[in-house]
Structure 1
Amino acid sequence: MSTQELFVAAARKWLFAGRKPLSIPQSLDLAAQVSAVDLGLKPALLYDSNSASAEQVQQYLSSLQSSQLVSKSLLTLDLNGNALVINPVAVRSNVEQLFHDRNVAVIDVCHSLEKPKITDPLRGELRSMTHDVLLLLRGLEQMKEAEKPHYVGEKAEDWNLCTVFGLLLGYPVTYWFDQTESFENCLAMTPLMVTTASATWQADSEGHICRLYSFSVPADLLQEAQSTLENWRLCLQERFQQQNVFKDLTVCQSTVTLPSVCL
């Protein structure tokens, strides 16, 4: 079997919802995403292809590792019912940079605000949450090959998952809101600049175009966040040049305005 066929077979065997397996295009896209995590092009993947459980995602990942399609360092994390495939070293390094370099822009989108604003990433509750996430990641980095997903404990129930996902997925900007006040936000009808990074996954002889990143920043805050975005782009290009599995990296931007934004 070809590399692509092995990836597709593993996905269709383990990642089913009810009796329905993933489609071949879904399986190929997932394979490209997991390969990107393995290479460190992105620190983590939030699994959302269907409603497969974290246990199923771990079985899929273990199958890939047994076939030597990805390294044994990748782990499955269950965060409040959300399954993530993570590269422990890459994701820990990304979160540590928030503490040391403050190179992630945290945008406050509380519903009570007139418009979004960039906030101090190390303010009170944000600092405490990020510290807890960092402790978790350092512990995961010490783990050997896992047979089961790692379940985050009760402490995560108080985390703002929107912010945490932004950190884990390697976004240069992440949204925050006071969830004790409201889970709504002030992004409705706010022009958002969406940045998308795509590349071609070269498994076997056929290429598969894969979207590695997609995140937004309010257009009014683009100038304030520009240096952070540029640093992220340069770092991505540097990592891209250190591998030969993906080619044709493309980073593009577009503006959208939506009547409501779900975070």
Structure 2
Amino acid sequence: MSLIVALRSAAKQHLKGCKRSLTQRLAAEILAVDCGLKPCFLYDFGTADVLQIQRYLMELLQIGFIQGPLHILNMEGTILIINVPRAASYLTMLLNSGELHVIDVSATLKHPEMCDKDSILGIQSQLSNLLAHLTPYQSEVPGTISVADIPCTEWNLCTMFGFLLHYPAVYWFDTTRNFENCLSLTPLKLVTVKTSCCKLGLQKIPMYSFTIPESVYHTLQLLLQAWTESLQHTFATQHYFTDLDIIMETVILPAVAL
């Protein structure tokens, strides 16, 4: 059985709602996490639950497509597939640096701005709790697919997802007021990272995609440059993906969902 046929068979058997046309793209996302190119992948390819995804990943292990270990984390119904050593190392670095680059996009603001110190302290506490959850899973051996939930009802999940997905700067908004934001019709720098995976016959697939408002771009320009250089270095340490392409353009959108 060819690799592509095996991947399609695994997705069909285990993943509810995953379209056949997306199975190679999904496999590429998981491979990128498994090889350490990115620390995390937010599963949005269907309605599969954590146990179905666990069985799917176990089959990918059995056919030798990935090595593991990987961790499946359920955060209030959103499922993330995590390379724990990579993610924990990144979160530890962030917390030790004392510098979290968080953009306040609360709907009450006229335009996005960097978060104040009080908000940052709350985010640091949440990140510490997230790291404490991940730490025990750092010692898992290859071939392991672990599953867990984490209590996070009071967290701004948009912010936590942004950190786990390794965005250089993440969004925050005051969830005690509403879940709207001030990004509509705001000039945004859209950063898209594309790469190819010959193993799966995929060309120029999006690997990262995030925005930074132009109103704070000057504050974050050096950070974005450092993030880009770090990504290029990480990219050079693996052999599954080629043709790294980092594209930046300015967009103005009528609405932005977070």
**Would you say 1:114 and 2:99 are equivalent positions?**
no
1:128–1:193 Cα change, 3 Å: same
Q: 1:10 — aligned with what?
A: 10
2:133 counterpart (130, 133, 136) = 136
CA distance in 2, matches of 1:218, 1:246: 29
Q: 2:219 — aligned with what?
A: 224
1:198–1:102 Cα change, 3 Å: farther
Aligned residues: 256
Gaps of 5+ in 2: none
CA distance in 2, matches of 1:31, 1:113: 40
TM (norm. structure 1) is 0.91
User: 1:127-159: CA deviations, max 9, x gaps?
Assistant: 11111111112122234555662111x3x1111
2:209 counterpart (204, 214, 233) = 214
Instruction: Please give the secondary structure, in 2, of the residue aligned with 1:149.
Output: strand
**Would you say 1:256 and 2:255 are equivalent positions?**
no
2:208 alignment partner AA: Y
CA distance in 2, matches of 1:59, 1:118: 41
Give runs of aligned pairs for residues 53-92 of structure 1, distance below 5 A: 53-92=49-88
Gaps of 5+ in 1: none
The offset of 1:106, in angstroms, is 0.7
Q: 1:124 — aligned with what?
A: 121
1:147–1:93 Cα change, 3 Å: closer
The offset of 1:97, in angstroms, is 2.2
CA distance in 2, matches of 1:123, 1:6: 45
CA distance in 1, matches of 2:42, 2:136: 20
2:19 counterpart (19, 22, 26) = 22
The offset of 1:103, in angstroms, is 6.2
CA distance in 2, matches of 1:67, 1:207: 20
User: 1:198-221: CA deviations, max 9, x gaps?
Assistant: 1001216x3443211000000121
Whether the 8 Å CA contact 1:95–1:130 is kept in 2: the answer is: yes
The offset of 1:10, in angstroms, is 1.2
CA distance in 1, matches of 2:124, 2:145: 32
The offset of 1:84, in angstroms, is 1.0
Q: 2:175 — aligned with what?
A: 179
Q: 1:41 — aligned with what?
A: 37
1:90 alignment partner AA: R
**Would you say 1:243 and 2:241 are equivalent positions?**
no
TM (norm. structure 2) is 0.92
CA distance in 1, matches of 2:204, 2:15: 21
1:180–1:132 Cα change, 3 Å: same
Whether the 8 Å CA contact 1:106–1:120 is kept in 2: the answer is: no
The offset of 1:231, in angstroms, is 0.9
User: 1:84-116: CA deviations, max 9, x gaps?
Assistant: 111001111121222123565210111111211
Whether the 8 Å CA contact 2:186–2:213 is kept in 1: the answer is: yes
